[in-house]
Chains A and B, each alone.
Chain A
């Protein structure tokens, strides 16, 4: 097996547990889209081109006929603005990937495969094959399950009954463990969590991710500045 094939396969293996959960959410989203009047073709087209769960769920909640397209476009941008930070971080690990491929590849960057890519980059270079092994099955699963959901309509019951709604949280906790570097990480995570939760409860929309993330980053910068001062004092 060539190195490329091995990397692609490893990507698929790493994303497999997520595909099950994404498939269930996709089914549910498809049924909701159908109930708002979207055809299976329209549901599939949105999943394949937008490919961002949170913004699609919110769009369906806001959906009217005819579709308020400008409002939906602006809302999608706000909900997905976290991608700007995620892409900035991920681009640091794209050194192995040819320049011309980086922007097209970011088309398949979603929360889950982004997180697994960042995790991978902690221990080894991120290859295009591994990244695609994560991303391609995600797009395919998400799109296909959306279409099936839209065709099947209302038969699908509450995913919370089987804990599927918690699968993403569990994955992220599992990935977070790999980023642990001691008490400093704890401080970053604690502040990020509190700010995000408070923002979610007080500010409408999806700003909580960006606000929580930036608060965590601010803590890291402040702790880093303290460390630099301590080092400067030690050497003087």
Chain B
């Protein structure tokens, strides 16, 4: 069990920088009134970010990933339980990677 100074500095620096990003939104929101157009923007934020996180994986990686994403979306559309939806996604991506 060793702990190097430069490593410790890097870990602490990363931790502080990351925590700053986590709380920045909370403080920025004190100066924002959410109604009308701003409300439309904030309501769209969660789905837009969720999609942006996964988009490179599901539309720009390969046919297997894109098809698996479509199958997963169908499972989600039919309101299957979350764990079932995730398992369908994982199984279909493994099978499709073998096929295509």
Give the residue among A169, A188, A214, A216 with the most B Cβ atoms within 10 A: A169
Alpha-carbon gap, A197 to B79, bound state (A): 27
Task: For B9, list chain A residues within 8 Å (CB).
Answer: 67, 69
Alpha-carbon gap, A178 to B59, bound state (A): 21
Contact B21 A83 (CB under 8 A): yes
**Least CB distance, A111 to chain B, in whole angstroms:** 6
The answer, among A80, A115, A164, A185, for a CB contact under 8 Å with B18, is: A80
Stretch at the interface among A3-11, A137-145, A217-225: A217-225
Alpha-carbon gap, A189 to B2, bound state (A): 46
- Contacting B at CB under 8 A, from A128-167, are 160-164, 166-167
- Contacting B at CB under 8 A, from A85-100, are 85-92, 94
Alpha-carbon gap, A7 to B3, bound state (A): 39
Task: For A225, list chain B residues within 8 Å (CB).
Answer: 37
Alpha-carbon gap, A168 to B3, bound state (A): 32
Q: Mark B72-90, 1 if CB is under 8 A from A, else 0.
A: 1101110100110110111
Q: Does A68 contact B (CB under 8 A)?
A: yes
Alpha-carbon gap, A192 to B48, bound state (A): 6
Counting chain B residues whose Cβ lies within 8 A of the other chain, the interface size class is 35 or more
Q: Does A57 contact B (CB under 8 A)?
A: no
Known contacts A83-B22, A89-B45; is A163 also within 8 Å of B91 by CB?
A: yes
Contact B1 A40 (CB under 8 A): yes
Contact A170 B90 (CB under 8 A): yes
Contact A209 B49 (CB under 8 A): yes
Contact B14 A188 (CB under 8 A): no
Give the residue among A40, A173, A193, A225 with the most B Cβ atoms within 10 A: A173
**Least CB distance, B54 to chain A, in whole angstroms:** 5
**Least CB distance, B69 to chain A, in whole angstroms:** 6
Q: Does A61 contact B (CB under 8 A)?
A: no
Q: Does A196 contact B (CB under 8 A)?
A: yes
Task: For B57, list chain A residues within 8 Å (CB).
Answer: 166, 169
The answer, among B11, B51, B59, B86, for a CB contact under 8 Å with A50, is: B11
- Contacting A at CB under 8 A, from B30-76, are 32, 34, 36-37, 40-60, 65, 68-69, 72-73, 75-76
Look across to chain A and name the residue whose beta carbon is closest to the beta carbon of B9.
A69
Look across to chain A and name the residue whose beta carbon is closest to the beta carbon of B65.
A166
Known contacts A49-B12, A51-B18, A215-B48; is A174 also within 8 Å of B82 by CB?
A: yes
Alpha-carbon gap, A169 to B52, bound state (A): 11
Which 4 A-B pairs rank lowest in CB-CB distance, beginning with the nearest?
Answer: A216-B48, A170-B89, A212-B52, A87-B25
List chain A positions with a Cβ less than 8 A from chain B.
14, 16-17, 21, 38-42, 45-46, 49-52, 55-56, 59, 65-70, 72-74, 76-77, 80-92, 94, 102-103, 106-107, 109, 111, 115, 118, 160-164, 166-177, 179, 185, 188-189, 192-197, 200-201, 208-217, 219-221, 223-225, 228
What 18 additional pairs, Cβ within 8 angstroms, besides A169-B65, A193-B51, A197-B55? A72-B10, A76-B13, A83-B24, A86-B49, A161-B94, A163-B91, A166-B68, A166-B93, A169-B57, A170-B88, A177-B79, A192-B49, A197-B60, A213-B49, A214-B48, A216-B52, A220-B41, A224-B40
